[in-house]
Amino acid sequence: MRRRDFLHGALAATGVVAATREAAAEVIEGPTLRVGLIGAGWYGKVDLLRLIQVAPVEVVSLCDVDSAMLEEAAEIVAARQRSGSRPRLFKDYRTMLAEKDLDIVLIATPDHWHALPMIEAVRSGADVYVQKPTAVDVVESHAMLAAARKYGRVVQVGTQRRSTPHLIEARDRVVREGLLGKIAHAEVCCYYHMRPTGNPPVTAPPPTLDYEMWVGPAPKTEFCGWQHPRRWRAFMEYSNGIVGDMCVHMYDMVRWMLGLGWPKRITSSGGIFVQQDSRANTSDTQTALFEHDEINVVWTHRSWGVPPDPEYPWAAFLYGEKGTLKLDVHKYEFVPRGQGERLTGTALYEYDKYPEDETEKDLERHVASAVRWHMLDLLANIKTRGRPVADIEQGHISSVSCILANIAMQLGRTLRWDPEHHRVVDDEQANQLLARAYRQPWQHPDPDNV
d(Cα 183, Cα 179) in Å, to the nearest integer? 10
Segments making up each domain of the chain, as ranges: 3-160, 162-350+393-431
Residue 200 clears pLDDT 70, i.e. is over it: yes
Q: What average pLDDT does the segment 364-388 reach? A: 97
Determine what percent of the chain is predicted with pLDDT higher than 90: 92
Q: What average pLDDT does the segment 249-262 reach? A: 98
d(Cα 406, Cα 4) in Å, to the nearest integer? 41
Beta bridge partners of 62: 37, 89
Q: What's the mean per-residue pLDDT of the chain?
A: 95
Residue 123 clears pLDDT 50, i.e. is over it: yes
Q: What is the DSSP string of 252-307?
A: HHHHHHHT----SEEEEEEE-SS-TTSS--S-SEEEEEEEETTEEEEEEEESSS--
Looking at residue 31, its pLDDT comes to: 84
Q: Which of the 8 DSSP states describes residue 175?
A: I
3-class DSSP assignment, residue 78: helix
pLDDT tens digits, one per residue of 63-83: 999 999 999 999 999 999 999
Helix (H) or strand (E) holding 185, with range, is strand 183-190
236 Cβ contact partners less than 8 Å away, ≥ 6 residues apart: 281, 282, 406
Where residue 20 falls among pLDDT bands split at 50, 70, 90? low
d(Cα 435, Cα 215) in Å, to the nearest integer? 17
Are 284 and 195 a contacting pair, CB within 8 Å?
Answer: yes
Looking at residue 183, its pLDDT comes to: 98
pLDDT tens digits, one per residue of 304-348: 999 999 999 999 999 999 999 999 999 999 999 998 899 999 999
Looking at residue 17, its pLDDT comes to: 56
Q: What average pLDDT does the segment 166-174 reach? A: 98
CATH number for the 162-350+393-431 domain, one of 1.10.150.120, 3.40.50.980, 3.30.360.10, 3.30.390.10?
3.30.360.10
178 Cβ contact partners less than 8 Å away, ≥ 6 residues apart: none
Residue 378 clears pLDDT 60, i.e. is over it: yes
Looking at residue 19, its pLDDT comes to: 57
Q: What average pLDDT does the segment 144-148 reach? A: 98
Where residue 16 falls among pLDDT bands split at 50, 70, 90? very low
3-160 is classed in which CATH architecture? 3-Layer(aba) Sandwich (3.40)
Widest CA span of the chain, in angstroms? 64
Looking at residue 10, its pLDDT comes to: 46
152 Cβ contact partners less than 8 Å away, ≥ 6 residues apart: 385
Residue 5 clears pLDDT 90, i.e. is over it: no
Q: What average pLDDT does the segment 22-46 reach? A: 87
State the pTM of this model. 0.95
pLDDT tens digits, one per residue of 395-440: 999 999 999 999 999 999 999 999 999 999 999 999 999 999 999 9
Residue 13 clears pLDDT 50, i.e. is over it: no
Residue 1 clears pLDDT 80, i.e. is over it: no
pLDDT tens digits, one per residue of 271-307: 999 999 999 999 999 999 999 999 999 999 999 999 9
Looking at residue 100, its pLDDT comes to: 96
Walk across the sheet containing 423-424 and list its strands: 343-346, 331-336, 323-327, 314-320, 183-190, 295-302, 285-292, 265-271, 415-418, 423-424
pLDDT greater at residue 231 or residue 18: 231
d(Cα 444, Cα 435) in Å, to the nearest integer? 8
